[in-house]
Chains A and B, each alone.
Chain A
Amino acid sequence: MKRLASAGFVLLVGAACAAQPAPEPLEYPTTPPTTGPAPSFEMSQPVERALPNGLRVLYLPRGGLPLVQAFLVSRGGSMDDPSDNPGLAAFTAEMLDEGAGGRDALELAGAIEQLGATLTVGESWDEAQVGLQVLREQLPDALRLMSDVVIRPDFPEAELARVKEERLTELASARDEAAVIAGNAFSSLVYGSDHPYGRLSTQASIRGIDRSTLVDFHQRYYRPGTSTLVLAGAVDASLHSLVEEIFADWEQGAVPDLAIPGPPPMPETRIFLVDKPAAPQSEIRLGHPAVSRDTPDYYALQVLNTLLGGSFTSRLNQNLRETHGYTYGAGSGFAMRLGEGPFSAGAAVVTEKTDSALIEFFGELTRIRDEVVPTDELDRAKQYLALRLPQEMETTGQVAARVAELAVYDLPLDYYDDYVERTMAVTAADVQRVAREYVHPDRTVVVVVGDRSVVEPGLRALPVGAVEIREIDEFVR
């Protein structure tokens, strides 16, 4: 059987963490105390079971608090949106707990709250997800309610009408938020309307959703054979008969294969300026399509991003925040999905320094490709990733989410067994290679949402690419 990690698993890191002789007692040290060997990190053994209808169930027992976190992940993420109805997956997920199993929205919410439980519904590009946090004693009742939400949502007309108005209003107010505009503009301009990642939910697409659309989408994608239930915390496999009973009548059904189109070509760098008059800061996003979660370069990319923009001491944050004071924080990331999600970097910078900030962004993106990363910087990034694993797995919710992620991306359950080893094996040459392969300052979309009257001349003077003026209405409509 596959498992999450072997017992007694020890984090091994480089010489920087080797044991040192005990320091002299009493005297105040003027150099940092050396850290001894990293502690052993044991993880619980997950137990995998399956129901006759195909539902995969993963039990992750952990000692300590009488708390359970469950996640049910299924198809029905935004990648399953029809091309003419972006936002349907999100709307369907949101409607799951607006009445289910014959209880109306208020009765359902009341029943969950009465158990002291928290139930969440949501979706990402690659999954629909229902989460449940509950004290162990209340788990059976809460799990029944969770199964109603997943299997038997009622999608009542009255709730649909209300939620639709709420979403339309939310969309109308999204135009007030520079960060939202920047995010929408970035994905739209990077991927275009021919790719799911580039399509935006609009007033028109929301208006077009009716009850039968939701029922159809739910029936098509929410099926046990392509779903996984994760139960972590005060649980063990003796719960399985209960789980079987609760999820037994979830009917099987053939779920269509997922079509994942490749990203569009990105021939050159262009700057898109979206005017937000009188804004005290410019929201900057820059990047391009990059890489999917199944890349063999996963670990090298994680190390690359940690030292480029994924940690406080990363180059982008040190440069833009700690050296120049242009921003409260700058960062970057690779959004690794089933398809090739974007590489993006960004910050909110003081309006007057918008062009100066972009010069620094491009400088760092170029430098990470051109120069081999120094050893101390590389080691720090690797250790940061590897040694943080215990605190990334500190809570029941964190562990359950990690296991659910393995299910969504079809990764082995012993995935974390060699996580540390593979992270520590990344070399400076690997980092430079993946930087050159996946970071392209010469083929980048740059979005600036800010005060055009102040920032436009500076942007036009930059030697990075042509400047186009765009309107907020194009990205929030």
Chain B
Amino acid sequence: MLLIHCPYCGESRSELEFRWAGEAHIARPENIAEISDEAFAEYFFIRDNTKGIAWERWRHIHGCGRFFNTIRDTVSDKFLLSYKAGLARQPVPGASEPVEGDAA
């Protein structure tokens, strides 16, 4: 079971209190009615499904109820960082350079 740090409660709690909420930093297109079907599929369905360092959203559903972002290694399942929703994509702690593909 994962131990997850909620940046709002300031505590690490068991996974049972949290709900996974998919990849982080996927912005809903502002002109959603006008974009092409391809662009909609890209936004709505297509995912990186990264093996390695991944940015993702969690929700502290049985705690404060708020969404936040984390950085986790999907091979070891180790969390590297939790940060509040609304912040830009954070760099990987300890990494000297930004990870490749870290554009958005």
Q: Do A and B come from one complex?
A: no
Q: Which residues of B contact A (CB under 8 A)?
A: none
Q: Which residues of A contact B (CB under 8 A)?
A: none
